[in-house]
Amino acid sequence: MDVLMPQLGETVLEGTVATWYKAEGDTVAKGDLLLDVETDKAATEIEAPEAGVLSKIAVPEGETVDVGTVLAVIAVDGEAVATGSAAGAAAAVTTSEPEPAAAPASAGLPAKSAGGKLSPAVRRLAKQHNLNIEDIKGSGRDGRVTRQNVLDFIKVGGAAKAAPVKAARAKAAPMAGETLPFDRFRKITAEHMVRSKATSPHVLQAIDVDFSGVDAVRLAKKDAWKSDKGYSLTYLPFVARAVCQALAEFPRINASVEGEALVLHPDVNLAIAIDLNHEGLVAPVVPDASGLSVSALAEAFADLVSRAQTKKLSPDDLQGGTYTLSNPGPFGTLFTAPIINQPQVGILSMDAVKKRAVVIESEAGDAIAVRPVGILAHSFDHRAIDGAYSAAYLQKLKALIETADWGSEF
């Protein structure tokens, strides 16, 4: 049975044999580690595909060959073990060359652990963190130290206990920085984000919007609003109001994916992403948001922000969202690609509104004007809808924001 150079990535055409762990004539079991292969993108361990005798090593350590090249031959089920000049030459190459321990040894790292040779990935990781391999218990075959063993050792503080770098080393290895374990809240957020990206094929579309009409009302009311409410009247409730109206015409976005079905929701339960002073993120929900005016939405958002930042949200506040709106705009961002709040179909990011030069088209001719412009970015689940549907939704959203009678909302 031939052992072939594997394809380690769509664009990888060749690989290098880094280390052989078996010699010609060795008996191998299915799953035994045979060799390490490295490319410019990855390093991997190649295991024996079947039990038998390693009858021939066709590619010696350090040699680079094309994907699909025969690296070795395993004689299985009584097949004759290959002998002769080809096998002898290969054996001579692997036995006459000095042990690959020589190079790592100069850096203070052995090339072998108690269980056998170290893979290049393990050597690099141990060198980076200035670790003594002898301090790490191996869980691999015959006690071999694996990459995961090294990572686990670092995680429990082994790197901090490592021996100091020898003065004879020509170049110091990068020292590990401070380790900040994820707290419970960060773990939950991380798990949700990873699950979302793994579950939904995300597609991002964006559109620029002229906020002149919004500004005409917002700026006229901002002082009285701030004096009466104690907080600023931002762009967020205006965008949220337009979102609710647009979703009424595009119900497949106000939906969730359940198995192989799309569930359309009759009410817009609008989730709002809220930053917790850079210590986490929550997305409490305004239920039946489509029935609220701009002023009512502004009040609902202010209440949620206040309770989120004082840790007074209830479990019910975080349930039932059908669509999510994120607003990194106060930080001056230009463009954000948000991650979908599962199992919802879409999420909209509203970034900073800035004065920009835009072309104004009219029957009298084109003109350049300075207008408040912001970018709305929409991530959607391509399982549920296609790009044309999302684009039409964004186009409707833009039209609503630019042409609505915002004064009537107060």
**Catalytic residue ranges:** 382, 386
Beta pairing class for 346-350 and 323-326? parallel
Selection from 90, 136, 94, 147 nearest residue 114 by Cα: 136
* DSSP for 78-99, written as a single string: TPPPP-SHHHHHHHHHHHHSPP
Q: Give the other-Cβ count within 10 Å of 130's Cβ.
A: 21
Question: DSSP string spanning 246-294?
Answer: HHHH-TTTSEEEETTEEEEPSS--EEE-EE-TTS-EE--EETTGGG--H
Cα 182 to Cα 162, 175, 189, 374, distances in angstroms: 23, 21, 10, 34
- At residue 379, the 3 state secondary structure works out as strand
297 vs 240: CA distance, rounded Å: 8
Q: Is 371 helix (H, G, I), strand (E, B) or coil?
A: strand
- One-letter amino acid of 240: A
How far is it, in rounded angstroms, from Cα 336 to Cα 350? 8
Determine contact, residues 172/341, Cβ cutoff 8 Å.
no
For residue 23, give both structure tokens. Answer: 């010699």
Least Cα distance to 233 among 250, 221, 243 occurs for 221
* Residues in Cβ contact with 387 at an 8 Å cutoff, skipping those fewer than 6 apart: 203, 205
The Cβ of residue 242 has, within 10 Å, a number of other Cβ atoms equal to 23
C-beta atoms surrounding 119 within 10 Å: 25
Instruction: Indicate the DSSP class of residue 231.
Output: S
CA distance 371 to 392: 23
Rounded to 5 degrees, what are φ and ψ at 93? Answer: -60, -45
Residues in the chain: 410
